[in-house]
């Protein structure tokens, strides 16, 4: 992997991790388009994901501190948010643990990405159709959002997109659903990133591609931070429908390219 490869992958990861268009799906497509041959691809993706999640920690640092301090003080709202995040992490962690083999092999093709983009777009439309934005977050609602996040283990679905849709369907406002989706992504992806680092080190890829991976991680962090800020502002006044058109257009291009 060259420095340019790392820069491209990092930028793609950071921007698409928090835009509801599927970061994993875009990484797979970009590799195919550019002919990038990168060993331990799933582990590299995990490290890039972890770098992007660090952007979450930095962007929501005050919120994270408030959650911890508020929970220790027994504040109901912050304690509820913490339990919602814990329960919401369980479904994707469980699916990832038991289905890691299929995720790493069967689903990592451009056509699977296209299928995920289309299926996820349908859920976006359903989420917008039934969104009411009148409910408060609860631990149970956090778990239900976590079930949607688990769907994003299929490339093309989008982790942020599925979590936002889940939040809309349980009654959260777009802004609240987006904030919760970004906070919910942190523990799961950070854990996957640590596992990815170990895999890279054991395979020798970490030592051989250390500099490109570092460049990719830095690019993912910076672009991820920018994407978080954009999404929180965008969804205050806009729906998810513009992303539906983008996703369907990309899926059509992938299917067309595969048929040529």
Average pLDDT per run of 10 along the chain, which is 260 residues long?
Answer: 83 91 83 66 71 90 94 93 95 82 68 92 93 88 95 88 95 93 88 73 64 87 95 92 95 88
If phi > 0 it is left, if psi is from -120 to 50 it is alpha, else beta; for residue 22 that is left
**What are the tokens at 159?**
């982790």
Q: Are the C-beta atoms of residues 156 and 114 closer than 8 Å to each other?
A: yes
pLDDT recorded at residue 130: 86
DSSP tag of 138: -
Average pLDDT for the chain = 86
pLDDT recorded at residue 220: 92
Neighbouring C-beta atoms of residue 239, cutoff 10 Å: 16
Taking only the tens place, the pLDDT of each residue in 64-98 is 999 999 999 989 999 999 999 999 999 988 887 77
Instruction: Give the sign of the dihedral formed by CA 166, CA 172, CA 175, CA 179.
Output: negative
**What are the tokens at 44?**
């590299």
Cα(190)–Cα(196) distance, rounded to whole angstroms? Answer: 10
């Amino acid at each position: 992997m060259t420095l340019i490869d790392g820069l491209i992958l990092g930028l793609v990861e950071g921007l698409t991790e928090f835009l509801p268009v599927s970061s994993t799906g875009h990484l797979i497509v970009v590799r195919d388009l550019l002919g990038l041959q990168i060993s331990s691809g799933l582990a590299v993706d995990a490290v890039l994901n972890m770098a992007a999640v660090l952007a979450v920690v930095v962007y929501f640092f005050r919120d994270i501190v408030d959650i911890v301090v508020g929970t220790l003080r027994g504040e109901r709202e912050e304690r509820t948010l913490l339990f919602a995040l814990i329960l919401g992490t369980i479904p994707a962690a469980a699916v990832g643990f038991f289905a890691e083999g299929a995720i790493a092999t069967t689903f990592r093709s451009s056509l699977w990405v296209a299928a995920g983009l289309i299926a996820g777009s349908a859920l976006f439309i359903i989420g917008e159709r039934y969104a009411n934005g009148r409910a408060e977050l609860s631990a149970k609602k956090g778990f239900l959002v976590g079930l949607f996040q688990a769907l994003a283990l299929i490339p093309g679905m989008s982790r942020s997109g599925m979590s936002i849709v889940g939040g809309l369907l349980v009654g959260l406002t777009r802004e609240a659903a987006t904030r919760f989706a970004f906070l919910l992504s942190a523990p799961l992806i950070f854990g996957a990133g640590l596992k990815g680092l170990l895999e890279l080190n054991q395979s020798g890829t970490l030592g051989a591609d250390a500099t490109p991976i570092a460049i990719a991680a830095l690019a993912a962090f910076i672009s991820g931070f920018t994407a978080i800020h954009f999404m929180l502002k965008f969804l205050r006044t806009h729906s998810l429908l513009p992303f539906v058109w983008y996703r369907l257009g990309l899926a059509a291009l992938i299917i067309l390219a595969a048929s040529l």
